[in-house]
Amino acid sequence: MIESVSGTGPRLVLRGIVKRYPTIVANDGIDLTVGVGEIHAVLGENGAGKSTLMKIVYGLTRPDEGSIEWEGRPVAISSPAAARQLGIGMVFQHFSLFETLTVTENISLALDAEIEPAALASCIRDVSRRYGLPVEPHRLVHGMSVGERQRVEIVRCLLQSPRLLIMDEPTSVLTPQSVLKLFETLRRLAGEGVSILYISHKLDEIRALCDVATVLRGGKVSGTVQPRSETKDSLARLMVGSEIEPCQLRPRQPGPVRLELTGLSMASEDPFGTSLQAIDLRVREGEIVGIAGVSGNGQAELLAALSGELQVADRGQIRICGQAAGNLGPAQRRELGLTFVPEERLGRGAVPAMSLAHNAVLTGAHFGMVRGGLVRNGAAREFARATIAEFQVRGGDERSAAENLSGGNLQKFIVGRETKLAPKVMLVAQPTWGVDVGAAQMIRQALLDLRDRGVALLVVSEELDELFMICDRIAVLARGRLSPPVSTAELTLESVGALMSGGANDAPADDASPGPGGREAKARLDV
Amino acid sequence: MTTASAYMSVEQMIPILVSTLVAATPLIYAALGELVVERSGVLNLGVEGMMLIGALAAFAVGVSSGTLLLGYLAAMAAAALLSLVFAFLTLTLQANQVATGLALTLFGIGLSAFVGRHFAGLPIHAMRPLVIPWLSELPGVGALFRLDLLVYGSIVLYLAVDWFLRRTRAGLLLRAVGESPTVAHSLGHPVIRIRYLAVMFGGATSGIAGAYLSTALTPMWVEGMSAGRGWIALALVVFATWKPLRVLLGAYLFGAVTVLQLYAQGFGLNVPSEMLSMLPYAATIVVLVIICRDPTTIRLNQPASLGKSFHPDA
């Protein structure tokens, strides 16, 4: 009797979940039902309340109101340990692995019972073989690619034999081929009766993988749909609440070379970093060149070398507007016409505790904001006000501290500030990381406008869709080597993915080498 | 040096070795305790203060009760209590660890000097050596088997700490907490409780280190008698790249140079004695700095969250 109830009823039911934070209501009366063996998408923009909801299900935070039912019984999930006891596992977006420990050690820390390391290692091998998740138990995590780390996380969850698996933005760091492998694993798990909550904002993936989708907007459910019978646009409308204007890449003849890298090589100072190896690249006036690739393949090192935070011995390896600049510091490079939007907004793009006006002075000193060594506060405030108005920065004025703005609004301010400094060359790292769809669209449009005004732009991003949208040419950075840039029109997601996993280089690809299964599964993604 | 060593026989070597072991003992206790604390991600700069409190507590209780064992228990309890204050301020109230640790040292120096006035100049029965039968009767090396219990204890402590960190699940958990408290918390481990226990362990061993100074190394109470050994213990942990074996060897190096410079002073070398007294500190740090230059070793062993506050709800 009881068995038939747990066999046919839903696995998890959330009713009227409310979670309030001091400034916002993150979840406002959310209902959600997940069936046995169902892959259930939770779709929404950044800040829509997806992560808060998952934290509630996994016991990391408690709801202010509402009830949770697990396999027909009302439960209170007070801690992650309680969630695991029930059979709930979670794979985090930002991996929750300990870098300096081995795979076995990492996994043993997540298990409640103590198992002999040798026995655990063989369990890990069993599970990884069964689900096609190659993992080497004795390796240290720090040397692993993101794909391998995710496999470790999944294996860790599977060893707890979960009945509900939460995947938080699992594909944000994977190459397209690894994504397809992951989908195969998830489908197999669902076939065995495991329910999956799949958190994402990527519409294609959800349409390819999920049975049901609950769409969140502003902390509320804006719709529960069957993604396979929806279009990408109808899902986007549910998610954003309005139509999105696609950006336009107008054909344009690029001008002379503005940024030139010739055989740029640099050993990484960080022992776990990636050394740059003989990078050649030319960015011309009026074009956007995109650098694709999974973070940790030399992105940080390349950006540091280009911005001037690190200098290269051979000054001719970097030329900005024709001038050898390899040995110049960031300020001198800015004088040559370079501006830079770094990946870390707080701490690199802006000083967290300082006002937006003072943050404007930091890179715009030569723009009339400093005279005779003294800060002209009036000019700085005027500049910040103009940037705020022009780029629709919300949630603060020129006197607000940078740290009090949301990520998206601060990014708009930083992009605006760098744009208004009349750059000739602009470097942009992860332009829309963690930014909601509306703001992302606006930032992309701003970059395209710069291109049309004749600026040479270099964009480093992990979001392939974004690079395909705005770039004239795309190159791939893998293991410190840069592939020759190719015109975007001649590229497919798949060909870029192959380069990302190192397929074009002689280095062996340990991560999702594009096997024969890749093409087959790609067809499924295109449904 | 060559001529000196040419004349040095085994009979002369053994006393030097013995003095080295003895001089290194307090450092080993303090540094191994601090290593465990730092491995959990907490930086307690109060070692010097806790050592002084331990030294005074052991001396005072030892003199009053006439039992050194009670003195040692008092030293451990007093220093652990002081570290508990530190833990409460930094772990529960989220105070800055560096500032709180410095305050703890200043407090320990001041309090021990104030309370200790009544004990200055009093005699105490120093700890009796533990004579190991048969081995201690060997000619020459026999002297190595007539040492204080605590000298042997320091080696046992090293073995225990190394085994704990490397082999036990609790040790793994401790390292994990130091590496990333957020991840440990998200896996459901009690980060704050683990750090409390680590800090109190470090307090107790600092207490023993202090007690050894006032009851064995120089059996008396002198204001500020730890003479910077707490700071050297802190430096040892860092320059030993958080590895127990290197802490042990660093402590012996310190002990050896301490003893050798005394001999050098005895020989009447024409070098100011202040310079020679400085030598153990300088030599230990220089050698350890040279050993630990490899950045990979540092990255792999340095607790990534060292000195940073952790709040479970953030």
**CB neighbours of B162 closer than 8 A, spacing ≥ 6?**
B244, B245
Instruction: Give the residue from B168, B187, B305 with the most A CB atoms within 10 Å of its CB, the best one to mutate.
Output: B187
Query: Is B173 touching A (CB cutoff 8 A)?
Result: yes
Q: What is the architecture, at CATH level 2, of domain B12-301?
A: Orthogonal Bundle (1.10)
Determine contact: A64 vs chain B, CB below 8 A: no
Query: pLDDT band for position A250 (50/70/90)?
Result: confident
Q: Which residues of A touch B189 (CB under 8 A)?
A: 109
pLDDT at B294: 75
pLDDT value of residue B66: 83
CA distance B199 to B174: 11
* Partner-chain contact A98 B187, CB within 8 Å: no
Residue A350 has pLDDT above 80, yes or no: yes
Cβ <8 Å between A98 and B295: no
- Rounded to whole angstroms, the Cα distance separating B101 from B89 reads 10
User: What are φ and ψ of residue A344, in 5° steps?
Assistant: -85, 110
Residue A352's contacts (CB-CB under 8 Å, 6 or more residues apart) are: A346, A401, A402, A403
Beta-carbon contacts below 8 Å between A and B? 58
Q: What percent of chain B has pLDDT over 70?
A: 96
A140 near B CB under 8 A: yes
- Of residues B126 and B98, more confidently modeled: B98
Q: Residue B174: which pLDDT band, with cuts at 50, 70 and 90?
A: very high
Tens digit of each residue's pLDDT (9 = 90 or more) over B249-275: 999 998 998 888 888 877 777 778 788
Q: Does A273 touch chain B (CB under 8 A)?
A: no
Hey, which bits of A201-337 come out as E strands?
212-217, 220-225, 257-266, 276-284, 287-292, 318-320, 323-324
Q: What is the per-residue pLDDT for B313?
A: 62
pLDDT tier, A196 (very low <50, low <70, confident <90, very high otherwise): very high
The per-residue pLDDT for range A475-486, each reduced to its tens digit, is 999 888 999 999
Find the mean pLDDT for residues B119-148.
80
Of A59, A79, A109, the CB nearest to B176: A109
- Would you call B19 exposed, middle or buried from its count of C-beta atoms within 10 A (0-12, 13-18, 19+)? middle
Per-domain residue ranges of chain B: 12-301
- Section A369-384 average pLDDT: 88
Cβ distance B304 to A60 less than 8 Å, yes or no, reads no
d(CA A478, CA A292): 9
Give the pLDDT of residue A522: 32
Q: What is the mean pLDDT of residues B68-92?
A: 95
- The proportion of chain A whose per-residue pLDDT surpasses 70, expressed as a percent, equals 90
* Record: contact A98-B179, CB cut-off 8 A: yes
CA A281 to CA B258: how far, in whole Å? Answer: 59
Cβ neighbours of residue A458 under 8 Å, at least 6 residues apart?
Answer: A259, A281, A283, A288, A289, A291, A306, A425, A426, A427, A428
B26-40: per-residue pLDDT in tens? Answer: 999 999 999 999 999
A134-138, A176-180, B284-288 — which one is most confidently predicted on average? Answer: A134-138
Position A520 pLDDT exceeds 60: no
In chain B, residues with a C-beta closer than 8 Å to the C-beta of A270 are 295, 299
How high is the pLDDT of residue B83?
Answer: 96
Residue B9 has a pLDDT of 66
**Over 90: is that where the pLDDT of A409 sits?**
no
The whole-angstrom distance between residue A45's C-alpha and the CA centroid of its chain comes to 13
Using 50, 70 and 90 to split pLDDT, how confident is the model at B158? Answer: very high
Q: According to the model, what pLDDT value does residue B92 have?
A: 92
| Amino acid at residue number A179 | V
Element (H or E) spanning A387, and its range?
helix A377-390
Kindly indicate the confidence band of residue A271, based on its pLDDT and cuts at 50, 70 and 90. Answer: low
Of A371-385, B2-16, B218-232, least confident by mean pLDDT is B2-16
A310, A340, A343: which is closest to A325 by C-alpha?
A: A310
The answer to whether residue A515 scores a pLDDT higher than 50 is no
Gap from B180 CA to chain A (nearest CA, Å): 7
Q: Answer yes or no: is pLDDT of A433 > 70.
A: yes
Report pLDDT for B113: 93
pLDDT tens per residue, range A151-174: 888 888 888 888 999 988 887 667
ipTM confidence: 0.78
Q: Search chain A and give the residue with CA nearest B303.
A: A100
Q: Which residue on chain A is closest to B170 by alpha carbon?
A: A109
pLDDT of residue A526: 33
Interchain proximity A60–B179, CB inside 8 Å: no
Q: Does A109 contact B296 at a Cβ distance shorter than 8 Å? A: no
Question: Residue B306: pLDDT above 50?
Answer: yes
Lowest mean pLDDT among A381-385, A491-495, B252-256: A491-495
Query: Can you tell me the distance from the alpha carbon of B263 to that of B267, in angstroms, rounded to the nearest whole number?
Result: 6
Least confident of A53-62, A512-521, B158-167: A512-521
Interface check A102 vs B, CB under 8 A = no
pLDDT of A502: 66
Q: Does B223 touch chain A (CB under 8 A)?
A: no
Q: Give, as one character, the DSSP assignment of residue A437.
A: H
- Cβ contacts of B173 on chain A, cutoff 8 Å: 109
pLDDT of residue A511: 41
- Computed over every residue of chain A, the mean pLDDT equals 84
Pick B187's closest partner by Cβ from A61, A80, A269.
A80
Cβ–Cβ contact B175 with A under 8 A: yes
Residue B301 forms contact with A (CB below 8 Å)? yes
Angstrom distance (rounded) from CA B13 to CA B25? 19
A-chain residues near B180 (CB < 8 A): 96, 98-99
Residue numbers of A between 107 and 126 with CB closer than 8 Å to B = 108-110, 114
Per the model's pLDDT, the better-predicted residue between B83 and A517 turns out to be B83
**pLDDT exceeds 80 at position A243:** no
Query: A520 touching B, CB under 8 A?
Result: no
Among A80, A114, A269, the residue with its CB nearest the CB of B188 is A80
Q: Phi and psi of B202, rounded to 5°?
A: -60, -40
Helices A117-130 and A103-110: crossing angle in degrees, nearest 10, is 90
